[in-house]
């Protein structure tokens, strides 16, 4: 999927219900970069309750790697993790920005700054891998996310999600 189409889908999602429906259909594809995967996930969580409760969490789960799903699934358990204190700042966040990324072979790290709904600034590190086989061959998927620092609050520990 070309970068222009992905950016257009995200822009539409931010501006209309029809756009939300289109971005809701995004699934792992080999054309998506690690940064695009993370931006999609953060945007989905920002719009977590659009169309239905926890729709964003469901969208994020699509991009969890098979090993991540095995560790955190099923979806209901994954949702509980995201609603916990370490990750809840991502839900319905005010804004986000990618502040760094690094790709080495089939591994990537993307750093994202989130402004939570309560105004707290939290930085998360997303670890991704390019899948080598199966239905998601050559797709970037998230292996884990950890909060790097938090300016308000005290959660500095991360778990794989």
Does 24 reside within a domain?
yes
Q: Say what the pTM is.
A: 0.79
Amino acid 149: pLDDT:
56
Q: Which residues pair with 104 in a beta bridge?
A: 107
Q: Summarize pLDDT for 56-85 with one digit per residue, the tens.
A: 999 999 999 999 999 998 999 999 999 999
Does 159 reside within a domain?
no
Domain ranges, residue 45: 3-150
Q: How many domains does the chain have?
A: 1
Amino acid 26: pLDDT:
87
| 21: confidence class by pLDDT, cuts 50, 70, 90 | very low
Does 160 reside within a domain?
no
CATH number of the domain that residue 101 is part of:
3.10.450.100
Q: Is the pLDDT of residue 154 over 50?
A: no
Q: Is the pLDDT of residue 157 over 80?
A: no
- In the chain, count H helices and then E strands: 6, 4
Does 158 reside within a domain?
no
């Amino acid at each position: 999927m070309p970068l222009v189409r992905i950016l257009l889908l995200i822009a539409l999602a931010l501006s209309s219900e029809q756009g939300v429906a289109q971005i809701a259909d995004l699934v792992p594809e080999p054309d998506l970069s690690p940064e695009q995967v993370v931006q999609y996930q953060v945007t989905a969580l920002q719009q977590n309750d659009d169309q239905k409760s926890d729709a964003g969490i469901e969208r994020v789960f699509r991009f969890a790697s098979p090993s991540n799903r095995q560790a955190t699934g099923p979806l209901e358990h994954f949702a509980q993790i995201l609603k916990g204190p370490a990750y809840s700042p991502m839900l319905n966040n005010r804004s986000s920005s990618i502040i760094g990324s690094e790709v080495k072979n089939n591994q990537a790290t993307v750093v994202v700054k989130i402004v939570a709904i309560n105004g707290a600034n939290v930085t998360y590190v997303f670890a991704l891998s390019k899948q080598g086989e199966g239905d998601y061959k050559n797709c970037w998927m998230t292996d884990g996310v950890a909060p790097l620092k938090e300016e308000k609050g005290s959660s500095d520990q991360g778990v794989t999600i």
